[in-house]
Amino acid sequence: MLITGASSGVGAALARALAKDGAVVGLLARRRDRLAEVLADCQKHSPDSTMWVADLADSASVGPLAQQAWDGLGGIDVLVNNAAVPKRRVVTALEPSEVEAVMRVNFFAPMRLTLAILPQMLARGVGMIVNVSSVGGRLGIIHESAYCASKFALCGWTESMAVDLHGTGITVKLIEPGPVDTEIWDQPGNDDPIYDGPKFSPDEVAQGILEALGDDGFEHYVPEMKAVVDMKNADIDTYIAGAAGMARP
């Protein structure tokens, strides 16, 4: 199993939980020290677990990296595309380069990893691709147009991929976490978050992903927030007015 964004947050919590259950996990992230700490915890229960240090914003390196991970793990049963970066900024203040940087990590990296590994999964006739999007992949969030664009793209990609791969032996799952208590809320180069409501722990979300891995369904909200998305879809104009109102004193 290969997990991206495994040095902290949901990725780290998921890696530790899977390793505790005996799974061999490959960890991928850009922060060596943090990643090594997670790996050390995983190897207490799963000694064959390993890690790769890489920046998924470097698009040219993603394909070769996927092959290294496949070879190093002796094949990948499950690919969990979890890595993501935030971008909180009102759309009128965004630079195109900022949006493109978010897309490289949040959408193009999982796309490239998937396309690099998919032929080998298909040749073997079995595998699972798990894309961790966000409720922001179904809802337009105030001051998060770049982030939401990347997550909407990941949702559409994942849904269409599930259609294309139906019946092939490759299972595709879409995970949509709500607000999670991670360092994504406190990142340089981002405006202060407007949302100040409850957040869920990475461990809670990781447990939801574990449950999704064993479930037959395609789409999983962790925690369950589908009712909010359904409400938006039922009356998009009311949703836009209400969401915009969050920025007003």
Q: pLDDT of 86-119, one tens digit each?
A: 999 999 999 999 999 999 999 999 999 999 999 9
Per the model's pLDDT, the better-predicted residue between 219 and 190 turns out to be 219
| Residue 229 falls inside a structural domain | no
pTM (2 decimals)? 0.93
| Residue 149 falls inside a structural domain | yes
CA nearest to 170, candidates 120, 112, 127, 212: 127
pLDDT at 149 exceeding the cut of 90: yes
Which range marks the domain in which residue 180 is found?
Answer: 2-224
User: pLDDT over 90 for what percent of the chain?
Assistant: 83
| Residue 232 falls inside a structural domain | no
Q: Which residues are catalytic?
A: 147
| Residue 170 falls inside a structural domain | yes
Burial class from Cβ neighbours inside 10 Å (0-12, 13-18, 19+) for residue 36 reads middle
Q: pLDDT of 226-248, one tens digit each?
A: 888 999 999 999 999 998 888 65
Number of continuous H segments (helices) and E segments (strands) in the chain: 9, 7
pLDDT at 80 exceeding the cut of 60: yes
| Residue 249 falls inside a structural domain | no
How many Å apart are CA 204 and CA 6, to the nearest integer? 16
Averaged pLDDT, 219-226? 88
Q: pLDDT of 152-207, one tens digit each?
A: 999 999 999 999 999 999 999 999 998 887 777 777 788 787 777 777 899 999 99
Q: What CATH number does the domain containing 133 carry?
A: 3.40.50.720
State residue 179's pLDDT score.
Answer: 84
**What is the count of structural domains for the chain?**
1
| Residue 150 falls inside a structural domain | yes
How many Å apart are CA 122 and CA 238, to the nearest integer? 44
